[in-house]
Amino acid sequence: MRPGPSALICCLLFSLLQLQQTHSTPLTCYSRALGLSQEVMTLLEKIHNDRRTITCAADLPKIFLDVHNQCITTKLRDFLYVVLNHPSQSCKKRPRMVMLKRKVQNLHTIITRICFRDLVFRSDDCEAIDTGLVSPHYAEDRLQILQEDR
């Protein structure tokens, strides 16, 4: 027995409602910047580990993206400059390098223009973006306790 048109319409409406519920929350500037920075880091890892792009990765500076670090704007701008002006023309044309360029440009635009006033930076440790090592950040009350213990 074949289902009637009303049963098919009900199933279609039900599936559309489920789809709408799963995607009902819009992206915020923070969530988009955070997600895109993770995508860039994942792509960089692939570029550094793939035999076809490992020579391209040799010219890229090390970068550890943290959207909570105020230095991300300048470091991302410098990194984008290196990617755009890569010395090897063959590397510029590789699909992963093209994708890296686009993602870094998008992230830089989001952080510096679109979400300029929405992001809250918790540190300004530029060395952490270069090395990946985050120095401990003590709040004022913790600093006062440390000074009293001496």
What pLDDT, on the 0 to 100 scale, is given for residue 46?
Answer: 95
pLDDT over 90 (residue 141): no
pLDDT in tens, 11-61: 554 555 555 544 555 678 888 989 999 999 999 999 999 999 999 999 998
pTM: 0.70
Specify the length of the chain in residues.
150
CB 75 within 8 A of CB 63: yes
